[in-house]
């Protein structure tokens, strides 16, 4: 789960709906109190994503080093 700030816009995140589920990476484009908007892969638009499904990419990768 993340709690983004304005300076996190442009930061890379990893999305995993459930433990052991597929992993999707993207970039934060904006957020509001309910959702973080993330552009995944080559999508030309952002998707509203629940904060509980997101982790900053560097934190995710650090767990598997």
State the pTM of this model: 0.91
- CA separation for the pair 25, 53 (Å, rounded): 11
What is the predicted pLDDT for the residue at 21? 86
- CA separation for the pair 20, 10 (Å, rounded): 26
What is the predicted pLDDT for the residue at 18? 82
What is the predicted pLDDT for the residue at 63? 85
Domains of the chain with CATH codes: 6-63 (2.30.30.30)
Query: What 3-state DSSP class applies to 39?
Result: strand
What is the predicted pLDDT for the residue at 17? 83
pLDDT along the chain (65 residues), means of 10: 97 90 95 97 95 95 84
What is the predicted pLDDT for the residue at 19? 81
């Amino acid at each position: 789960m993340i709690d983004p700030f304005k300076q996190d816009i442009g930061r890379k995140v990893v999305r995993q709906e459930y433990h052991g589920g597929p992993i999707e990476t993207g970039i934060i484009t904006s957020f509001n109190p309910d959702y973080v908007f993330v552009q995944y892969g080559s999508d030309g638009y952002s998707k509203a994503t629940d904060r509980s499904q997101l982790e900053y990419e560097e934190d995710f990768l650090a767990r598997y080093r």
